[in-house]
Chains A and B, each alone.
Chain A
Amino acid sequence: MTWGPMFMYYHCPKCGLKFEYAVDLIPEFGEKFGHCPKCDVMGIYEKDGARQPDDADYLEVE
């Protein structure tokens, strides 16, 4: 049994953008993991898990 990639979901405290990061990209992003792709500030963590029902509301940062 697998459950697909795991994501951490955030929103930006500056611009309000909702975005997500795949946990398997922690090595690639390093300290930037969880940063807003527009403002480059650390996002506010909302939740994590496999793709959520409202996944389409979040920009997947790759």
Chain B
Amino acid sequence: MAKKTIITAAVTGAWPKKENNPNVPMTPSEIADDVYACWKAGAAIAHLHMRDDNGNGTMDKNKFIETVNLIHERYPDCDIILNLTTSGDIYATDDTRLEHVQILKPEMASYDCGSMNWLNSSLFINSPAFLERCGKLFQELNIKPEIEAFDPGMIANAAYYLKKGVLKAPLHFQFCMGCANGIPGSVKNLVFMKETMEQLCPGSTWSTFGVGHSAMETMYAAVALGGHIRVGMEDNVMYSKGVLAESNAQFVERAARVIREYGNEVATPAEAREILGLTK
């Protein structure tokens, strides 16, 4: 039986603006339409960030509420899994980072399992206090954490929180490869992340993406290694060398081709829910 591979579309992120790629969706309306297009192209999960009116990353709950409502109102047939970021603004307070999930209670939300330097210029803080609070809140609200791991230490952190009861098995990881200040993107390093996860958090599922030049090798390796894939302008605005992406759906379509040509099948949202154990 062919393996089902989940595609996550990360359509906006916290950084690219129209100057980087005019096709990046930034308003609630643009994001809602883009999510639908990605769902039609084969994405089972949409990872969502919001932007303020100046185009900067924000954790404004009203933007999240507006976007989610638009998706449901405009596209009632769309059963894509919504995965909301909790890290859309490195200057947001812990309270602000969790307001929207308490209101919207999404099926999934991001859980960045450690702190790191950010672009060698600032700090991306995910304090122990925040991670404990976030993990317990997600359990209370039945939100599946997507454990973003930028390096192997964050996988070890997840193992600790599993033992402490802050996180509940089975875990789902998103290996963020090739980000500045994180583990460099390469097949060798992806294998290392996967093996570290298997050793410390057995029974976990995983997805991955590569930023920049590691994007394609990470995608192909993910399929070959039995993982799932994330694509989208949050991570890469270029479709190929020197070529801007026309849309997020273009990224999803390519991922779907890669999956099918390998011999796997693209997981529907319903199948993704089963794989990830979502019970909402």
Chain A residues within 8 Å of B19, by CB: 53, 55
- Can you spell out 13 A-B residue pairs with CB atoms less than 8 angstroms apart? A1-B124, A3-B13, A3-B15, A3-B119, A3-B180, A5-B236, A6-B119, A6-B120, A24-B212, A24-B214, A51-B20, A53-B17, A60-B242
Chain B residues within 8 Å of A4, by CB: 13, 15-16, 20, 211-212, 235-237
* B226-258 interface (Cβ within 8 A of A): 234-237, 241-242
A23 to chain B, nearest CB (A): 6
Interface size on B, residues (CB 8 A): 39
B85 at the interface (CB under 8 A from A): yes
**Does B119 lie within 8 Å of A49, measured CB to CB?**
yes
Hey, which bits of chain A sit against chain B, CB under 8 A? Answer: 1-6, 22-25, 27, 48-51, 53, 55, 60, 62
With known contacts A2-B234, A3-B14, A22-B212, A55–B112 Cβ distance under 8 A: no
Chain A residues within 8 Å of B88, by CB: 1
Query: Given the complex of chains A and B, what is the CA–CA distance between A51 and B124 in angstroms?
Result: 18
Hey, which bits of chain B sit against chain A, CB under 8 A? Answer: 10, 13-17, 19-20, 49, 57, 85, 87-88, 90, 110, 112, 118-121, 124, 148, 176, 178-180, 184-185, 209, 211-214, 234-237, 241-242
Contact of B184 among A2, A24, A53 (CB under 8 A): A24
